[in-house]
Chains A and B, each alone.
Chain A
Amino acid sequence: MNDSRDLILGRIRERLGRSPANVAPAQTAMDVALAAKSAGPRPRTDADLVAAFRARSEALASTVDQVACLADVPRAVAAYLAEHKLPARAVCVPDLAGLDWRGAGVEVEARGAIDHDLVGITGCFRAIAETGTLMLCTGRATPATVSLLPETHIAVVPATAIVDGMEEAWSAARSEFGQMPRAVNFISGPSRTGDIEQTIVLGAHGPYRVHVVIAHGQ
């Protein structure tokens, strides 16, 4: 690319004492590490993933609701919006546009979000019990802006998508996508800042509220 590349890499090789003799074993060790993908020390796995995910989400200042099946989600969302005096209007990732939103009285538009959207509804690729985190992957039907620009983010989490930790989520992404999506966003509660006097304020640049709806069945 530029000359500096060769100069920098040359300098590194010189410092490390790289030689034709030691490059092959180092390459092999590297390939082994890349193939093994071994995990470091991890906390204990939770017996009840849904309960653990819920408790830790709430600890991150998210709110959590549970419904029996995916078809019940629009009504639960409508109730949440009404309770928080939010308009029954939302932008929704195209992925979830098939649910019966109209039947629940929620007007959704399936598209990427713009500045003025107040409510964004997304699904999630996986959810992580260890920390109460949502894992969203971008794609044609899952734009990144919907979980970012609106003041309220509502995430639909199928109970089957809840896994122990990030490691399980990575393996799932590898097998499902083959290569990593453009953006994998791990979201853990509403956006926050502690920059002024280390006082935590919710709603820095992203959503003020994150509401999670866990759907137990299909």
Chain B
Amino acid sequence: MHFKARAVAQLADAGVQSNLKKAKGKFVDKRRDAIAEFLAQGGDFEALREAGMELRNRVLADLDLWLEKFEVNATARGAKVLWARDGAEACRLIVDIAKRHGVKKATKSKSMLSEEAGLNQALEAAGIQPVETDLGEYILQINDNEPPSHIIAPVVHKSKEEIADLFARVHKKPRLTDIGEMTREAREVLRSHFLSADMGISGGNFLVAETGSVALVTNEGNGRMVTTVPKVHVVITGIEKVIPTLEDLSLLLRLLIRSATGQPISNYVSLLTGMKGEGDLDGPENMYFVLVDNGRSDLLASEFNDMLRCIRCGACMNHCPVYQTIGGHAYGWVYPGPMGSVLTPLYMGMENALDLPHAATLCNQCGVVCPVKIPLPDLLRTLREKQVEKKLRPLSERLALKAWAWVATRPALYALGTKFAVRYLNWLAGGGKSIAVLGAAPEWTAGRDFPAPQGRTFREMYARRKRS
């Protein structure tokens, strides 16, 4: 993965840049307003975050038992619970299910795990047509399976003009430019898929152990469609998504939705348990859960355990100055932004994502907004340390750090070094306030000037003061 090259390309793409700028304020403002409204309603959002964190920690500490409890209760209602060690196994299980039920077409509501697993490709290879039904995911699918650039708003990088061109080309209809009319056109295309699919595949926002249910949150209603109409419903989700009770679900919904879209609640929250009962007029006849590990169990009780609390709200990327500048595609895998910079190296191998832990200013905007208080900057810093420990950093960098440590632990030498450095930098600035080209590290001054030091070093000034 070549993060730098991708980031540079995204920075140079005027379209992506203007679309990112348009979206940024909206997400941030909506979340802020939703929290203000919650406070006005007498709610305490900080207490809610604290409780959310505590709840998620409690489940993770006994994850084995909660998963077993979920399995018992889901099975009691007739669902089949399957387990997959990785994405490939999840794909195999789902293709098998589809074949067993003679499925030709599967409608899908948004699932990040299915992106992790590459499920669409696996279904296609088996001759089963996957149809993404979240409007954003649908747009990406008809655009040659382009990857999403945000976990909540997958086409945040695209303008309506680009989407209008795409619809005209793929739907073979006159080009529309009104967003309402474009949505209506997609609705009509997707409606026929909803009604003709034999299988519905959904992700799972939460698995409720108490009842053996999956909870789905959507605004469009596609989550309801894929779990109501087809005769088979498959839930694909991560093993960390289990929570104890329905009350816990309510707590997490209050956090998740405000953090994600800035709504007090999404248009549709569905709790699905088992299949169509006797005499029911609708609902699937078969329900499967595919619980996927794909690296999650390795994080348990490790220094990255906190990351497993993540409820996939996207607030960290919405508030990240780096994400807002380079967009989601630069991150190179399913998860972008701060949470992606932590998850990608952990799930894909540290050596495969060397730049990501460094693609952060550690400003802690993400840590402040995360609804389950994941200390993202700390985790990024830990990943940086691991890279050094594992000798994954370039030799020159490691040597430079060693040299710096050697000097910094020798006060006299350090004082001498900084004294020379200040004079050198002042000389570079030519008496001015800033340095246009930093000789030793020209990259630093490629897009900005380097401020010149003002006066002498702190130590020199301190020493002079003491004397006078």
Contacts from A to B (Cβ < 8 Å): 1-2, 4-5, 7-9, 11-13, 15-18, 23, 26-27, 29-30, 33-34, 37-44, 56, 60, 111-112, 115, 130-131, 133, 138-140, 143-145, 148, 165-167, 170, 179-199, 201, 203-207
Contact = CB atoms under 8 A, between A and B. Distances in A.
B394 to A, nearest CB: 32
Contacts of A199: 160, 179
B281 A112 contact: yes
A145 B179 contact: no
A195 B272 contact: no
Given A145-B228, A184-B271, A194 B261 contact: yes
B450 interface: no
Contacts of A40: 48, 51-52, 55, 247-248, 250-251, 254
B280 A140 contact: yes
A23 to B, nearest CB: 8
23 contacts: A1-B80, A11-B293, A15-B297, A15-B298, A15-B300, A16-B64, A26-B62, A37-B245, A41-B47, A44-B41, A56-B264, A112-B282, A130-B264, A140-B280, A179-B273, A181-B273, A186-B270, A188-B269, A192-B220, A195-B136, A196-B179, A204-B187, A206-B225
B250 A167 contact: yes
Contact of B271 (A2, A11, A148, A183): A183
Contacts of B221: 148, 191, 204-207
Given A11-B297, A182-B283, A183-B271, A195 B210 contact: no
Contact of A185 (B44, B85, B224): B224
B180 A201 contact: yes
Nearest to B178: A201
B301 A16 contact: yes
Contacts of A42: 43, 254
A12 B85 CA distance: 12
B89 interface: yes
Contacts of B38: 43
Nearest to B137: A195
A34 B67 contact: no
Nearest to B45: A41
A198 B297 contact: no
A209 B107 CA distance: 24
Contact of B65 (A27, A165, A188): A27
Contacts of B219: 191-194, 204
Contacts of A195: 134-136, 139, 153-155
B222 A204 contact: yes
A8 B82 CA distance: 11
A148 B195 CA distance: 12
A144 to B, nearest CB: 5
B272 A12 contact: no
B204 to A, nearest CB: 14
B227 A12 contact: no
Given A15-B297, A16-B63, A201-B180, A144 B283 contact: yes
Contacts of B276: 182
Q: Output the residue of B19, B221, B283 with the most chain A CB within 10 A.
A: B221
**Which residue among B19, B159, B269, B275 has the maximum number of chain A CB atoms within 10 Å of its CB?**
B269
Given A115-B191, A139-B280, A148-B228, A189 B267 contact: yes
